[in-house]
Amino acid sequence: MKKIPKEQSIYAFSAENTPVLHIDSGERVIFETHDALEGQIVDENTPFDGLDWSRVNPATGPVYVNGAEIGDILAVSIEKIEVAARGIALCGKELGVMGEKLENYAIKSIPIESGAAIFSPKIKLPLNKMIGVIGTAPAGSPVPCGVPDLHGGNMDCKDVREGATVFLPVNVAGGLLALGDLHAAMADGEVGVTGLEVAGEVTAQIKLYKKDSPKAAILRLPAIINEEHIMTIASHEDLDIAVEMAVANMVQILEKCKFSGYDATMLISLAGDVRICQVVDPKKTVRVVLPRKFVKF
């Protein structure tokens, strides 16, 4: 299997990035990834003022998928996420939901042992390993890896995990897929501004769906499908608008499956959860989570 070292990474999704790997549809790739701060925080005493903020959210790649053309879809099936034995979390002044109230900064270095994050001697948290940044090159100007949008990016969605397939748009030839920013644990909201940020490795299979395929006809992107659910994801500076975008996308998917707009809206109202992914990035991200049995490809 082809493996991309973590040194081959980008700080912005861009049509101008040079691919580090060319693959055919259906190939599996191992992405080695830095943590979101590129390993700059070595322990809890690392001076916050000394951090280089130009080196954050690196995403490993980009990968050029042979034959991918504008309008096609890349499906990234996440087979395995492996994380390092220690990660970091932080919060502080001007960061996250509590940024106005916190006067200083705090870093917590958190060991990961036997499938649990050791938050404190008394608090062990179960891991929910996930990918924070995953995306393709946008059609227009470069988008920093810290920003989520229609191309994916820093969605910080805890359903981007093992067993999920993430569907992303092809906006430029080859798609130029990259991913990184693993979290060993994170809750919806990511209110403090980080998850349990950790280096690691992702094994994924990447498939190309052409623009005339049933999936491309039905899906609205970005989207996730796992064993039980289909999800639409949307990001916007205004959380209310992000909700409207994600719901409208799911309604459109259901309309393609012969539901009227009214029935689709009521079905989502009764059976589709609207969940917050994160509220701390430059755009906020939400997802609509609906049982996949209602969507037939």
Q: Are strands 152-154 and 130-135 parallel, antiparallel or unpaired?
A: antiparallel
Range 128-157, binding Ca ion (CB under 5 A): 132, 154, 156
Tell me how far apart the alpha carbons of residues 263 and 260 are, in angstroms, rounded to a whole number: 5
Window 99-118: contact mask with Ca ion (x via CB under 5 A): --------------------
Choose between 234 and 254: whose C-beta lies nearer to Ca ion: 234
Choose between 194 and 249: whose C-beta lies nearer to Ca ion: 194
* Least gap, CB of 217 to Ca ion (angstroms): 31
Choose between 132 and 272: whose C-beta lies nearer to Ca ion: 132
Mark the segment that binds Ca ion (CB under 5 A) among 93-101, 125-133, 166-174, 224-232.
125-133
* Least gap, CB of 222 to Ca ion (angstroms): 15
Range 163-182, binding Ca ion (CB under 5 A): 181
Tell me how far apart the alpha carbons of residues 13 and 137 are, in angstroms, rounded to a whole number: 5
Q: Is 92 helix (H, G, I), strand (E, B) or coil?
A: strand
Choose between 91 and 253: whose C-beta lies nearer to Ca ion: 91
* Least gap, CB of 235 to Ca ion (angstroms): 12
Choose between 11 and 294: whose C-beta lies nearer to Ca ion: 11
Sheet of 165-169, strand order = 2-4, 28-33, 200-209, 73-83, 165-169, 223-225, 229-236, 284-291, 273-278
Choose between 89 and 137: whose C-beta lies nearer to Ca ion: 89
SS (H, E, C) 102-135: CCCEEEEEEEEECCEEEEECCEEEECCCEEEEEE
φ and ψ at residue 263, rounded to 5 degrees: -65, -40
Mark the segment that binds Ca ion (CB under 5 A) among 69-77, 127-135, 165-173, 198-206.
127-135
* Least gap, CB of 190 to Ca ion (angstroms): 7
Residue nearest to Ca ion (CB): 132
Tell me how far apart the alpha carbons of residues 147 and 25 are, in angstroms, rounded to a whole number: 27
| 38-45 contact pairs (CB < 8 A, 24+) | 39/199, 41/88, 41/90, 41/107, 41/109, 43/107, 43/109, 44/107, 44/108, 44/109
Q: Are strands 123-126 and 165-169 parallel, antiparallel or unpaired?
A: unpaired
Residues 6 or more apart in contact with residue 28 via CB below 8 angstroms: 1, 2, 79, 203, 204, 205, 206
* Least gap, CB of 153 to Ca ion (angstroms): 9
Choose between 162 and 181: whose C-beta lies nearer to Ca ion: 181
* Least gap, CB of 123 to Ca ion (angstroms): 23
Per rule CB under 5 A, count of chain residues that contact Ca ion: 4
Choose between 171 and 278: whose C-beta lies nearer to Ca ion: 278
Instruction: Give 259's Cβ-side CA count (13 Å radius).
Output: 19
* Least gap, CB of 71 to Ca ion (angstroms): 28
* Least gap, CB of 45 to Ca ion (angstroms): 23
Interface residues toward Ca ion, by CB under 5 A: 132, 154, 156, 181
